[in-house]
């Protein structure tokens, strides 16, 4: 996520989506397979919509699940069946925010569940699917429909974040399809570790992928996330091949923003950074213009209280934010490869 984004439900900036179960802890549970379907089948045209939605620049509205109906009256078996089909998702919160998580005003939805265990995770309360609230695709798309005039005016849209979006591909697929039928710009914030769960149909419904490349060195990546780097690399290359003859089945190429969290003493090694920069440049060699933006996100301590509240040890409690000089050095490593870096 961008540097001025926020941890769901708070005023604390997060350091990217995609954190979860860990490479040494077994395979993640991926819920459901996306199904094709029309937005009209999900919520029809009869939903009353309030089109007077004031939005102040660079401010956010909404907190937690405010305004969304939680489907907490379902039997467990029914709930699981609906999650597998994508009719229901495990949702942490949503926010309406300007100038972060993609262009324009964004309705950012934080899903629960993630296969990584990032040392610097700023959303540790989104790691487990069981901790989220059941929200239907119909309910969430009704919320998207409400803000269509705002999205059109600001060239914004919906961003699915987490947690890890692709741990709930069926639900995410329904939201992306429904949003595109409403003419809304779509973005997915992901670590890419579960990129294989994103179908070609989902990619065709995705305008922008915010790809969190947490390290370029496999050993460093494992130390940071407890997972392997290769699935992320493979997913990025698949994104770069979208829209190419013989590439991903997509009506148009997918735009990518690469995000890199800069943690002193952990991810700041020059070789590690250069590996990320070289990989990012490679994506633009596969398809020129794939990566339109790189964001170097300086580590900070504003999320540590969440770890304490959850009774978990925060391994980076003594780590200081990177200096201005270090941050600029890292950004320059990306810029030296012709990448627009912020």
What CATH number is given to the structural domain containing 177? 3.20.20.70
Q: Examine residue 34 and state whether it is found in any structural domain, yes or no.
A: no
Q: What is the mean pLDDT of residues 207-227?
A: 97
Q: Examine residue 342 and state whether it is found in any structural domain, yes or no.
A: no
Distance of CA 184 to the CA centre of its chain: 17
Q: Examine residue 253 and state whether it is found in any structural domain, yes or no.
A: yes
Q: Examine residue 14 and state whether it is found in any structural domain, yes or no.
A: no
Parent domain of 303:
23-28+40-335
Assess whether pLDDT exceeds 60 at residue 56: no
Tens of pLDDT, residue by residue over 69-90, are 666 677 778 878 887 888 989 9
Q: Which range is most confident: 39-43, 123-127, 278-282?
A: 278-282
- The confidence score (pLDDT) of residue 33 equals 47
* pLDDT classification of 25: cutoffs 50, 70, 90: very low
177, 37 contact by CB (below 8 A): yes
Residue with the bigger pLDDT between 69 and 272: it is 272
Phi and psi at residue 172, to the nearest 5°: -60, -40
DSSP class of residue 117 equals -
Q: Transcribe 153-201 into DSSP letters.
A: HHT-EEEEESS-GGGSHHHHHHHHHHHHHTT-EEEEEE-STTGGGS-HH
Q: Examine residue 143 and state whether it is found in any structural domain, yes or no.
A: yes
Q: Are strands 291-298 and 255-262 parallel, antiparallel or unpaired?
A: parallel
- Please state the domain count of the chain: 1
Q: Which of 1-15, 176-190, 216-230 has the lowest mean pLDDT?
A: 1-15
Q: Examine residue 173 and state whether it is found in any structural domain, yes or no.
A: yes
Q: Examine residue 233 and state whether it is found in any structural domain, yes or no.
A: yes
Q: Which of 68-72, 229-233, 317-321 has the lowest mean pLDDT?
A: 68-72
Q: Examine residue 340 and state whether it is found in any structural domain, yes or no.
A: no
């Amino acid at each position: 996520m961008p540097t001025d984004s926020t941890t769901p439900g708070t005023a604390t900036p997060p350091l990217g989506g995609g954190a979860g179960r860990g490479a040494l802890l077994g395979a993640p549970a991926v819920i459901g397979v996306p199904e094709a379907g029309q937005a009209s089948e999900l919520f029809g045209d009869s939903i009353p919509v309030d089109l007077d939605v004031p939005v102040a620049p660079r401010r956010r509205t909404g907190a937690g699940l405010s305004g969304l109906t939680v489907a907490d009256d379902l039997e467990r078996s029914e709930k699981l069946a609906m999650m597998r089909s994508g009719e229901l998702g495990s949702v942490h919160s949503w926010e309406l925010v300007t100038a972060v998580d993609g262009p324009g005003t964004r309705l950012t939805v934080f899903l629960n569940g993630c296969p990584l265990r990032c040392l610097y995770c700023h959303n540790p309360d989104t790691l487990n699917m069981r901790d989220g609230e059941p929200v239907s695709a119909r309910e969430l798309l009704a919320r998207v429909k409400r803000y269509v005039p705002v999205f059109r005016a600001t060239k914004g849209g919906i961003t699915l974040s987490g947690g890890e979006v692709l741990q709930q591909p069926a639900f995410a697929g329904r939201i992306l399809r429904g949003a595109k039928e409403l003419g809304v710009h779509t973005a997915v914030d992901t670590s890419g570790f579960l990129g294989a769960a994103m179908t070609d149909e989902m990619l065709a419904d995705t305008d922008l992928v915010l790809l969190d490349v947490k390290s370029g060195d496999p050993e460093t990546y494992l130390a940071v996330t407890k997972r392997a780097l290769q699935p992320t690399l493979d997913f990025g290359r698949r994104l770069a091949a979208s829209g190419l003859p013989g590439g991903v089945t997509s009506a148009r190429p997918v735009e990518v923003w690469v995000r890199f969290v800069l943690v002193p003493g952990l991810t700041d090694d020059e070789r590690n950074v250069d590996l990320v920069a070289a990989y990012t440049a490679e994506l633009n060699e596969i398809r020129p213009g794939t990566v339109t933006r790189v964001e170097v996100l300086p580590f900070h301590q504003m999320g540590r209280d969440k770890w304490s509240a959850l009774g978990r040890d925060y391994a980076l409690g003594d780590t200081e934010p990177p200096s201005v000089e270090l941050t600029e050095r890292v950004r320059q490593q990306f810029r030296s490869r012709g990448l627009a870096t912020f």
